[in-house]
A and B are shown apart, each in its own frame.
Chain A
Amino acid sequence: MKKIEAIKITRAVTELVRRASFFLRGDVLSALRKSYAVEKNKQAKTILKAILDNAAYARKHNLAICQDTGLPVVFIQIGQDVMIRGDLKAAINKGIDEGYRRYYLRNSIVGHPLKRGAPGFSPCIMHTDIVKGNKIKLTLLPKGFGCENKSQLKMFKPTASIEEIEEFVIKAVKEAGHDACPPYVIGVGIGGTADYAGLMAKKALLRKIAPGSSDLEKDLLKRINKTGIGPMGLGGMNTALAVHIQTHPTHIAGLPVSVNISCHALRSASVTL
């Protein structure tokens, strides 16, 4: 049994807040640079340049890449041979709180969804997964809400065709349209239950943008980029940087499909203790 002090978790989370908020992910930067290189629409190119300049400016001046520093979502993969000395969830929220304060991020969290109230920095959303081993991996995804608001879920019939599913994903992107800061990264969860499909769609955003996409992912990306929405929705050939799909076994009676869209400022950072 490996023992980890809660204070160590807090410090690690505070550092994740800094890394995720100031430094755009390397794979996202590369994808944006590639988009900039191939884009033919003049205004779209200007916008992609501003997006790249923004990432560089944020890094240089320790500024949040986007003012919407998100609802922090923390994925916890905890080894079954790890013992936490202290309160794990309190330690994570403390790390979030300290990080958001220290790095001048935005207090975007209201204490109650209906009563609202004065916004604060926490609590974050936590997803916990128990795995083998004696390590703990923490991943922070500060999710901006312009794009989170465009999430969708549809419970398809089990006999639905791939074409119907593709149409649903493309429709979700079209409905996000100009609003949610394209070029997007599209997370899709297929299978499981309604809640699990939603979680998979979000987790799909954590996957590194890299070669090796499935045929369905490639086809969807091509079709999404043909919509012509473009950067900031002002036209162009780059509407999405990537489509990432996660699947899971499901029930004979159903076929849940969830879409979680990320803006171009897709931020996340991980640490293993």
Chain B
Amino acid sequence: MSEKIQIPSGAVLAKTPLHELHVELGARMVPFAGYEMPLQYPMGILGEHLHTREKAALFDVSHMGQAFLQGADHASLAGALEALVPADILALGRGRQRYTQLLNNDGGIIDDLIVTRSASPADDGSLHLVVNAARKTVDFAHLREHLADNIRLQPLEEQALLALQGPQAAKVMARWCPGAAELSFMSAAALKFDGIDCHVSRSGYTGEDGFEISVAAADALRLARTLLSHADVASAGLGARDSLRLEAGLCLYGAELDETTSPVEAGLAWSIGKRRRQEGGFAGAARICAELADGPKRIRVGIAPEGGAPAREGTEILSHGGSPIGLVTSGGFGPSFDGPVSMGYVEAVYGEVGAPVSLVVRGKPRPAHIVALPFVAHRYVRAQVQTRN
């Protein structure tokens, strides 16, 4: 027996502030983006996944890059950042956050990120960024190179990031941080959690309701232990995080997104502001605006294999007629979907929901069909009056 998928071992791995807790909980630690991270705990990926959808799970995502961008005021800072991302940052309200992408001049995605405007008027001209672990060095260099000298990028090296995800997350947070439960999806505030200063947002990467908590490294362990003391909370690792985001139809950088892929191809046009589409003026705007007008050549789709065999990253996708039309970018077993799930890119004409395709797994074409994403419905807790750009 041999595993086909091997995790490359890094040289010197960084540890998150929760490292000792992971080891104590019996996690299987693996190298990931230069960090030693928990892949799973004794409950196992399947159990952790289902627990997240049923109750609440705590994820250590401290490997992700956090930074503040600081400028003279919101308008000038937003204007500068808007040259590099297609989202409407100017219209971002205080305490609101937005998902966007750092784009290169060809409209390819350097990284995807969450941008949060501080809730406090005293911090006007400050944006909090969360970027991918494996991309933070590239991102920060890109920002420094392309933003004027009067805008300061301050990476938050000593800041942990925890995610509490699941339908019970709000109830759990409310015990120690009543303000958290009052946030709506994609909102954030500086709050106290059992006396600990932290920055809480209602967001996540599982499709469930949940929170991300940015906290000083020195306080992270106490905060994590407090959350885990709640009967509804289990710890969950990177394995469950990946199967949860895949079922939720969310993109993973390096799988669905890379420097050749545009946000329009990736099905992320919803994150491109209306004003931005009209005005352009961001890196890659020529390609993005053309794809918005004429449709992209290829599109990201969900694919449900019909047999039991998962079709993993790199699997070739064939049309009903047998010609190659694309590749799977993420695939595996969806514990809540209770079957194999894949995402990939196909030529746009083949991307209609319901269309039959074949997936070549171990040399054999197997039946599958295009499905609407997500595989498992999102359960975000949105504001009553939805303001999306």
Q: Do A and B come from one complex?
A: no
